[in-house]
Amino acid sequence: MTREGLNLTRDGDRKVRIPAKVSVVASDSALEVLRPDFHSRTSDQLQIFEMEPGAKIPEEIIQDAQVMVVEVDPAVASSMDRIKQIRGLRPNLPLVVGLRDAGVSTVRVLLRQGVEDIASVPFQLEEMLDSIANAVEDSYSEVEAETELAPLIAVVKSRGGEGATTVTTHLGKHLLEWGQSGRGVCILDLDIQAGSVAPYLGVTPRRSLDDLLEAGHRLDSSVLRSVAMRRDDGIHVIAAPFDIQPLETVDSDQLLRVIKLARQEFDFVLIDLPANWTNWNLSTLLEASQILMVVELEISSLRQAKRWLELFNSVGVNASKVAVAVNRVEKKLFGSISLRDVREALKRDVLVGLPNEGSKILTAQDQGMLCSEIQGKNKFDAEVSKLTEMLVDRISREHGA
């Protein structure tokens, strides 16, 4: 057994890796045989949550699990509801169900509900590990073959300091309202030299994007989930690397694997990109469902935005996927540049003008909060809500096309 998990040999020579965090939810009587082996052999492998089979499983246990083993009593309706609860929150989570009497009809019902394997109760360690291996193997192959990728929204800035990260974090909150399966929103902070998504959202990551880039062939949903920090509202954050490093060190192929995996795990994925451009971040734009460029009503910002848009066009980024949001708009009677001017200059749709709420936003970010969390109703958040709806509509129309 290693820190990453337990490698089991299947069918003679094929190895299956069981992730390090296997969450077992079962009653005391179901665990009585397992406990001695648990303490002597697998204390760093299994997490046991003792509760009766009819009890509802706390959501945080489901969200944190990499594989779940759950005792179910078919005679208790609330116990059978556990499967619906888990599949509603985590459709692709490898799942093993423990049964005392595994009747054929019950097994058929559970398999139709998305259970990968069945184990007998009381649990026996070797049988459980074999069932877990089956679940991991089946679940991951199904995800690879069948899961439709979630929409990917890339937020870019014409230059540093445009407030693109602020827009990204607030978009994340509003995208939660549009998720179809309750899997949440993931924000990948790809501004690897100056990323600030995590502090803006008040999360303190233990691991970062670096861990995923260095995972190599070990990268899977369990590794991704171990890095993504979950906020109470359902936003997950994959933080920028803790140490500043050259932009050129990022492995483009591995990064694209990280992004694809995130799109399999969540309802929406947002990426916050740096102001400097390299081959790897241009590659991410080619995968994006929508690209939102954040600019300000200044000649220098618009001039730089136009240069970037020309670069995007030269590498094959579809212009129809690129839209513009103007940040820090002041309501002046005689403004020198209007939103119409921006549209004409950049030849792209300008979705919204976001009002300048500088002091309120800074106050919120200093506390690791969103603007709406310190002031329920504010103009900035209202406009971001409109922006979110527009982006979702554009994704829907693009997908329909």
User: What is residue 57's predicted lDDT score, i.e. its pLDDT?
Assistant: 92
More confident residue, 12 or 380: 380
Span between the terminal Cα atoms of the chain, in Å: 49
Helix ranges restricted to H, 243-378: 252-265, 279-287, 299-314, 339-346, 358-366, 371-374
Q: How confident is the model over 290-300, as a mean pLDDT?
A: 95
Backbone angles phi, psi at 61, to 5 degrees: -65, -45
* Chain mean pLDDT for the chain: 86
Q: Higher model confidence: residue 359 or residue 108?
A: 359
Q: Which of 116, 115, 133 is nearest to 125 (CA)?
A: 133
CA angle 97/100/104 to nearest 5° reads: 75
What's the CATH architecture for 5-146? Answer: 3-Layer(aba) Sandwich (3.40)
10-19, 199-208, 299-308, 392-401, range with the lowest pLDDT: 10-19
Higher pLDDT, 75 or 292: 292
pLDDT of residue 12: 46
What is the per-residue pLDDT for 332? 67
CA distance 127 to 136: 14
Is the pLDDT at 87 greater than 80, yes or no?
yes
Name which of 73, 74, 68 is nearest 91 in CA terms.
Answer: 68
109's CB contacts (< 8 A; 6+ apart) are 74, 80
The proportion of the chain whose per-residue pLDDT surpasses 70, expressed as a percent, equals: 88
Alpha carbons 136 and 3: distance in angstroms, whole number: 17
> Does 352 score more than 90 pLDDT?
yes
pLDDT at 205 over 60: yes
Count CB atoms within 10 A of the CB of residue 206. Answer: 9
Q: What is the mean pLDDT of residues 307-323?
A: 92
The pLDDT value recorded for residue 330 is 84
Going by DSSP bridges, is the β-strand pair 14-19/5-10 parallel, antiparallel, or unpaired? antiparallel
* Residue 133 confidence (pLDDT): 80
Domain limits of the chain?
Answer: 5-146, 152-400
210-253 pLDDT, tens digit each: 999 998 877 888 889 989 999 999 999 999 999 988 888 899 88
pLDDT tens-digit readout, 21-72: 788 999 999 888 877 765 544 455 678 899 998 999 998 888 888 888 999 9
* Residue 367, pLDDT score: 94
What pLDDT score was predicted for residue 3? Answer: 32
Over 60: is that where the pLDDT of 13 sits?
Answer: no
Q: Taking the complete model, does pTM exceed 0.85, yes or no?
A: no
Q: List the single range of 12-16, 184-188, 319-323 with lowest mean pLDDT.
A: 12-16
With 60 as the cut, is the pLDDT of residue 259 above it? yes
Cα(168)–Cα(154) distance, integer angstroms? 9
Could you report the per-residue pLDDT of 155-178, keeping only the tens digit for each? 999 998 899 999 999 999 999 999
pLDDT-based confidence at residue 334 (cuts at 50, 70, 90)? low
Does 305 score more than 90 pLDDT?
yes
> Residue 262 and residue 349: Cα distance in Å, rounded?
28
Interval 135-161: pLDDT, tens: 777 665 555 545 689 999 999 999 988
pLDDT of residue 219: 86
Query: Average of pLDDT values for 340-358?
Result: 92
Question: What is the reported pLDDT for 368?
Answer: 93
Task: Tell me if 264 sits within 8 A of 180, measured CB to CB.
Answer: no
Residue 372: CB partners within 8 Å, gap ≥ 6?
A: 170, 173, 378, 381
As a whole number, mean pLDDT of residues 375-399 equals 91
Q: Rounded distance, CA 200 to CA 195, Å?
A: 10
CATH code reported for the domain at 152-400: 3.40.50.300
The two domains 5-146 and 152-400 share their CATH topology (first three levels equal): yes
Give the mean pLDDT of 330-357: 86
pLDDT for the residue numbered 20: 58
Q: Give, for 38, the enclosing helix (H) or strand (E).
A: helix 34-41
